[in-house]
Amino acid sequence: MTALLALASAVLVGGADFLGGFASRTAAGIRVAALAQAAGLPVALVLSIAYGYERLSGPDVTWSFASGAAVAVGLGCFYTAMGRGLISVVAPVAAVTGALLPVGYALVRGERPGLAALAGIGIALAAVAVISIAPSDPAHAHVAVTPAVVGLAVLAGAFFGLFYVFFSRISADAGMWPVTLERIASTCTLATLAPALTRGGFAGLRPVAPFAFGVGALEVAATVPLLLALQRGPVAIASVMASLYPVMTVLLAGIVLRERMSRMQLAGVVCALAAVVLISAS
């Protein structure tokens, strides 16, 4: 059940990330992320009220806010990277990085992955290196994979990993209120960062508003099964299976944007996705 819930989250997140990355080609990624977080807040609130809760403790509130702040910074880096580079490369790099941190956390807490997972960790590191140094397809030179883009993707993945760890600390008694609290924190964080880091504040976002609302709805829908998966199963399994979201993102980028990667980059992406699968075998 944990794997299925996490995979459901991955499919929804993959769709949201593609829409967010596509919109970030028109407007600054961090501004798109801020609008998307705000757009999903009413949906999260309705869901939390309908689901109810038994007890919302102080630590639950703290971890919810911490996870929201972490995912906010991660999304700002993530959408910025996708706005500057190939979506089909940025997403796997972020996913691999995001999967490694929770696995390390799980190891410290006593979870012991199998040999397949350990092999996956090694392949993941190699995949990031390959994608980082590989030349881009000439047809997409305007969105080449630069060290800056890869760096942003890795940084985004690190914050996504923190989000998984923080979210896993929330008790099942809190119901779905952590989804709303996380969304409040992420919205406030991005609403503060976006005007400070970009020119024009939130002006000129009307063309990407439909994409942002779609991203917000998909993200809220994805957070629900993710929370349940992290609460009910091993953190290593839930977080890594949820990190399969690049499969959907890469597929959509290939179908809609017709993105093509060099053979070396393609090999790196395949290794990254294979690493996530191997890690999930723990």
> CB of 2 within 8 A of CB of 234?
yes
C-alpha distance from residue 8 to each of 12, 23, 38, 42 (Å): 7, 23, 23, 22
- Give the per-residue pLDDT at 73: 93
End-to-end CA distance of the chain: 15
Q: How far is it, in rounded angstroms, from Cα 252 to Cα 15?
A: 8
* pTM for this model (two decimals): 0.82
- Give the per-residue pLDDT at 279: 66
Q: Specify the DSSP element, H or E, that contains 30.
A: helix 29-51
For the chain, list residues with pLDDT below 50.
Answer: 140-142
Q: Which of 126, 145, 138 is nearest to 88 (CA)?
A: 145
Q: Which of 227, 159, 171, 163 is nearest to 59 (CA)?
A: 171
- Give the per-residue pLDDT at 144: 58
Q: How far is it, in rounded angstroms, from Cα 268 to Cα 165?
A: 26
Query: What are the tens digits of pLDDT across the range 37-46?
Result: 999 999 999 9
- Give the per-residue pLDDT at 15: 92
Q: For the chain, which residues make up each domain, given as ranges? A: 2-280
Q: What percent of the chain has pLDDT over 90?
A: 35
State the Cα torsion 82-273-14-166 to the nearest 10°. Answer: -90
Token pair recorded at residue 220: 């809220």
Strand, helix or coil at 93?
helix
